[in-house]
Structure 1
Amino acid sequence: MPLILISGYPSSGKTYRSNQLVEYFKTKIEASSDARINRLTVCHINDQSLGLSRDVYREARTEKDARATEYSAVKRALGKDTIIIADGLNYIKGFRYQLYCEAKAVQTPNCVVHVGTPIQNCEEINARLLENKEEDGGYAKDLFDNLVYRYEEPNGMTRWDSPLFTVPYEDEKPPLGDIWEAMIGSEGKVKIVKPNQATVMKPATESDYLYELDKTSQEILNVILDWQKDHPGEGGGELTVTEGTIELPANPVSLPQLQRIRRQFISLNRQHNLPNSRIRSSFIEYLNYNLG
């Protein structure tokens, strides 16, 4: 059942909003007369439930491990009778895209709830948490500033951040009813994601599809590698290719890094059967998310 991703600045009140969602969903389930809704359970996943400290975000390696832990927990929990509320920073758009793909693979709805607390308010809340030395604590000032700087705000125009529900700081509650309707549906009509070209396996063409996935992604990597070979030491800028533009980072990208991104893309999409016409543009999008 639905995957609800919570995203926001550090100390923006994500867990507070998540608890509001958990309480509302549980109340709706208990009050329902629909047997299918009564079977639903709510799973709240966050850093605390996973045993992760604030300091995991201080280094790239430990942060990567933390994201992998959350990713695995969400993937294990995805099922027809579970509503998942993934309450974490979820500030990297490429990570949100990965979780979006997992939800689509099991044909379940998903949305993003953006806790829209202004930075100034987040700073005040974080300072208060540090001063009071509360159990879950706040973020060290340098870490807080770094996470705010790196935050990639959800964009409702992209399919992996849609539908997007933004919760202003002043609002007493999130739009609980709207989120329920978008994720579960009306009484007696549980919402499901209908199979389509991106989520249904086509066994008769599976080998051809995997071949195209492998060949097309490698062709794009070769374009990047050839460009870097012809422009040694250069980085940054845009590299125009068929069906898209690759946004190159300031520093040259290594072959192992490119191959890792390519393997992740193939792993995420091997069960999805993207139309062949979408493989190239989808991989370009995925590259830009992970190289940015």
Structure 2
Amino acid sequence: MPLILISGYPSSGKTYRSQQLITYFQDKINASTEPKVKRLKVHHIDDQSLGINRDVYAAARTEKDARATFSSAIKRHLNRDTIVVADGMNYIKGFRYQLYCEAKAVQTPSCVVHVGVPPEKCKELNIAALGAGTGGYEPDLLENLVFRYEEPNGMTRWDSPLFTLPFDDPAPPCEAVWEAMVGSDGKSKVVRPNAATVLKPASEQNYLYELDKTTSDVVNAITTWLQDHAGEGGGQIVVPEAEEAIVLPTMPPSLSQLQRLRRQFIGLNRQHTLDKGRVRELFVEYLNDAFSK
């Protein structure tokens, strides 16, 4: 069943919105006469339930470990009869991409619910929480997390469908989320995993070498094309052995931007082995998603 990622600034009310969604889903399940709906369960995952303290976000190492714990909990509960509500900041687009791949690998849809609260309002809510002793972040940490937040973009595959919830809306678009993820009869859409998103044991020989070399070849193809076309943007580059062509943005990417995207892609796929024959295609897809923003 679907993975619903909650994303937003710290102290934006993500858990409150998650509970609204969960209450709605549970009421729909209880009121349904469809067997496929009646057997559904809703599982809520957040930092508190996993024993993750807010202080972990103050250091890169502890934050990385916390994200690994969060991701592992999601993978444990993703199955055909469970709706997983992942209630966290989920503020790094690469992490949302990783979770999108996890959902696709088990053939279940996913979506992002963006709790769109202005930073100043979050700071106000955070001060109130600290004063009441009910939570909150240290002011410097909150400022840092707000600065680093990468807002979801519904034009990318991993952030789509995207439901944005303004602060002054009384409730999330519960019905729209239910229809998109579960459907009126409980028959959620079947997601077909492609070879690029199916996780496999890291057993192929020279996998990391192939990952590095293939992505480097694609970047070199782009830089060569840009040199041959006097740095023009907006063109298409046909990459051998890839189904999609690379569609360049109007403002051509710099070499440093291409290398940064390459490093991000390698970092996301270092821990699990993709089919070596599909690395090129998935990297092209990743670049096109990044260029379309």
8 Å contact from structure 1 (residues 96, 161) kept in 2: yes
1:41-120 map, 5 Å: 41-120=41-120
Equivalent residue number for residue 282 of structure 2: 279
- In the TM superposition, residue 11 of structure 1 has moved relative to its aligned partner by 0.3
- In the TM superposition, residue 50 of structure 1 has moved relative to its aligned partner by 0.6
Please say if 1:153 is aligned against 2:151: yes
- Matched residue SS, 2:75: helix
Equivalent residue number for residue 40 of structure 2: 40
8 Å contact from structure 2 (residues 197, 274) kept in 1: no
8 Å contact from structure 1 (residues 213, 279) kept in 2: no
The superposition leaves residues 215-267 of structure 1 with CA deviations (integer Å, 9 ceiling, x where unpaired) of 5235458899xxxxxxxxxxxxxxx9963646637xx98xxx95x95264265
- In the TM superposition, residue 169 of structure 1 has moved relative to its aligned partner by 0.7
8 Å contact from structure 1 (residues 101, 268) kept in 2: no
The superposition leaves residues 21-50 of structure 1 with CA deviations (integer Å, 9 ceiling, x where unpaired) of 111111111111011111110010000001
1:180-259 map, 5 Å: 180-187=178-185, 189-195=186-192, 197=194, 215-217=213-215, 219=217, 243=246, 245=253, 248=256, 258=263
Give the counterpart of 1:265 among 251, 262, 269: 269
Give the aligned residue type for 1:248.
Answer: S
Aligned equivalents of 1:195, 1:163: Cα separation in 2: 17
Aligned equivalents of 2:196, 2:282: Cα separation in 1: 14
> For this pair of structures, how many residues does the alignment match?
257
Give the aligned residue type for 1:262.
Answer: I
Equivalent residue number for residue 243 of structure 2: none
- In the TM superposition, residue 195 of structure 1 has moved relative to its aligned partner by 2.3
- Matched residue SS, 1:49: helix
Equivalent residue number for residue 21 of structure 1: 21
* 1:247–1:166 CA distance, 2 compared to 1 (3 A): farther
Equivalent residue number for residue 233 of structure 1: none
* 1:71–1:33 CA distance, 2 compared to 1 (3 A): same
8 Å contact from structure 2 (residues 211, 276) kept in 1: no
8 Å contact from structure 2 (residues 3, 108) kept in 1: yes
Aligned equivalents of 1:272, 1:17: Cα separation in 2: 41
Aligned equivalents of 1:11, 1:67: Cα separation in 2: 18
- In the TM superposition, residue 190 of structure 1 has moved relative to its aligned partner by 1.1
- In the TM superposition, residue 197 of structure 1 has moved relative to its aligned partner by 4.3
Identity within the alignment, %? 54
The superposition leaves residues 143-182 of structure 1 with CA deviations (integer Å, 9 ceiling, x where unpaired) of 0100000001101111110100011111110011000000
Give the aligned residue type for 1:145.
Answer: E
- In the TM superposition, residue 285 of structure 1 has moved relative to its aligned partner by 6.5
The range that moved more, 171-180 or 190-199, is 190-199
8 Å contact from structure 1 (residues 3, 110) kept in 2: yes
- In the TM superposition, residue 77 of structure 1 has moved relative to its aligned partner by 0.8
- In the TM superposition, residue 133 of structure 1 has moved relative to its aligned partner by 1.2
- In the TM superposition, residue 282 of structure 1 has moved relative to its aligned partner by 3.4
Give the aligned residue type for 2:123.
Answer: E
8 Å contact from structure 1 (residues 198, 273) kept in 2: no
